């Protein structure tokens, strides 16, 4: 089977030759090709070259577009900074004061350099893999993007206490998000993954989620040209799935390393795709043998679950992760009787 056929089998819950497998190796491609990150995250060809090597050496069943949410914040005016072994991050939000919301303008996705980089990279990946390996696009959640445009505290304060400004901000985010997401679907992604932080009751009141967050996401997701993979965004998600399982165009949920799959399955239902929950950023801190054992525990837990894809959770697999860890997990999955 091809990777595309394997992933489709997991979506449909049918038998495959082996378990579909992926790791978030968007950053790792730069390590494998020796490309400086200032170039890797600005020149589409360098990123595409890195992912071609990831496909060849790591053999995941899903390839990701850049996990570089800061580029979206930069398009709105935030200042970003590059690092030697990590993706770019926001150095200075565009605004701090909620009263300055009028300064925020929706960027032109046809002209902004960072957004053009993301869109061109998507097209290069789709052309290279030609439907044999699914391409997962990565964008900031429209409910999280304000936090890297105006700072976490300002956005949280607005969400909780200023309905008028919140509505104005969501309108701006919706205009950008729907256009950008659909442009990536047009360029060839098969589904779109988004880390979702400001959807979690650990951060927001459930009333805020029910009255603001869910209706906003329902409206935006309903306008998209393809499915959404709802990513846990750094917080446990399983016990909150009831808020989001019925949103339009939901293709699956990526669970946090602390989540319980059995609990998530009960809430999400038998036919919903679940992914995770091996923590990617910490893989470089444990031995390859321990990483393989953790992977085996996850596979044992999901044995017989056809609507499951083995995947790493959280952000990118860390730069310092030994190649032996990645190949060890791959080899385990090749021979695992599921």
Q: What is the mean pLDDT of residues 253-281?
A: 96
Domain extent for 147: 3-335
Rounded-to-integer distance, Cα 112 and Cα 109, Å: 6
Q: What confidence tier does 243 reach under pLDDT thresholds 50, 70, 90?
A: very high
Q: Per-residue pLDDT for 209 more than 80?
A: yes
Q: What is the mean pLDDT of residues 165-172?
A: 98
Rounded-to-integer distance, Cα 43 and Cα 124, Å: 11
In degrees and rounded to multiples of 5, residue 155 shows phi and psi of -70, -40
Q: What confidence tier does 313 reach under pLDDT thresholds 50, 70, 90?
A: very high
Rounded-to-integer distance, Cα 191 and Cα 226, Å: 6
Q: Per-residue pLDDT for 173 more than 80?
A: yes
Q: Per-residue pLDDT for 1 more than 80?
A: yes
- Reported as a single tens digit per residue, the pLDDT across 62-117 is 999 999 999 999 999 999 999 999 999 999 999 999 999 999 999 999 999 999 99
Question: By the 8 A CB rule, do 220 and 142 touch?
Answer: yes
pLDDT at 102: 95
Q: What confidence tier does 266 reach under pLDDT thresholds 50, 70, 90?
A: very high
Domain count across the chain: 1
Residue % of the chain over a pLDDT of 90: 98
CATH number, domain at 225?
Answer: 3.20.20.210
pLDDT at 21: 96
| Mean pLDDT of the chain, nearest integer | 96
Task: Supply the DSSP symbol for 28.
Answer: H
Give the position of tokens 């949920």.
253
242-278 burial: b if 16+ Cβ within 10 Å, else e: ebbeeeebbbbbbbbbebebeebbebbeeebbbbbbb
Q: How many CB atoms lie within 10 A of CB 110?
A: 10
Helix (H, G, I), strand (E, B) or coil at 4: helix
Long-range contacts of 258-266 (CB under 8 A, 24+ apart): 259/232, 261/298, 261/301, 261/302, 261/305, 261/308, 262/301, 263/238, 263/239, 264/237, 264/238, 265/305
pLDDT at 202: 87
- Reported as a single tens digit per residue, the pLDDT across 5-64 is 999 999 999 999 999 999 999 999 999 999 999 999 999 999 999 999 999 999 999 999
Task: Supply the DSSP symbol for 317.
Answer: P
In degrees and rounded to multiples of 5, residue 253 shows phi and psi of -130, 130
pLDDT at 337: 82
Rounded-to-integer distance, Cα 280 and Cα 318, Å: 7
């Amino acid at each position: 089977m091809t990777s595309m056929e394997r992933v489709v089998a997991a979506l449909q819950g049918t038998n495959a030759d082996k378990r579909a497998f992926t790791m978030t190796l968007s950053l790792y491609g730069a390590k494998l090709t020796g490309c400086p990150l200032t170039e890797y995250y600005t020149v589409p060809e360098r990123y595409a070259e890195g992912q071609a090597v990831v496909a060849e050496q790591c053999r995941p069943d899903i390839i990701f577009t850049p996990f570089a949410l800061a580029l979206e914040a930069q398009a709105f005016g935030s200042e970003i900074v590059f690092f030697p072994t990590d993706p770019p991050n926001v150095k200075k939000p565009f605004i701090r004061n909620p009263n300055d919301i009028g300064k925020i303008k929706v960027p032109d996705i046809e002209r902004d350099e960072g957004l053009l980089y993301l869109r061109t990279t998507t097209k290069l990946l789709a052309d290279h893999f030609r439907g044999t390996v699914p391409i997962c696009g990565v964008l900031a959640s429209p409910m999280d993007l304000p936090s890297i445009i105006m700072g976490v505290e300002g956005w949280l304060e607005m969400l909780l206490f200023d309905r008028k400004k919140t509505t104005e901000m969501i309108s701006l985010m919706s205009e950008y998000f729907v256009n950008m997401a659909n442009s990536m679907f047009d360029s060839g992604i098969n589904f779109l993954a988004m880390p979702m932080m400001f959807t979690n009751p650990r951060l927001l009141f459930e009333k805020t989620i029910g009255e603001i967050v869910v209706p906003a996401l329902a409206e935006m997701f309903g306008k998209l040209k393809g499915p959404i993979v709802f990513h846990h965004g750094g917080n446990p998600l399983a016990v909150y799935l009831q808020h989001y399982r019925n949103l339009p165009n939901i293709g699956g949920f990526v669970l946090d390393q602390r989540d319980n799959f059995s609990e998530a399955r009960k809430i999400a239902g038998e036919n919903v795709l679940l992914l995770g929950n091996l923590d990617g950023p910490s893989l470089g801190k444990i031995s390859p043998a321990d990483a393989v054992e953790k992977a085996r525990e996850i596979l044992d837990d999901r044995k017989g679950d056809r609507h499951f894809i083995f995947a790493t959770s959280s952000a990118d697999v860390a730069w310092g992760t030994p190649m032996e860890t990645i190949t060890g997990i791959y080899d385990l999955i090749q021979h695992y009787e599921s």
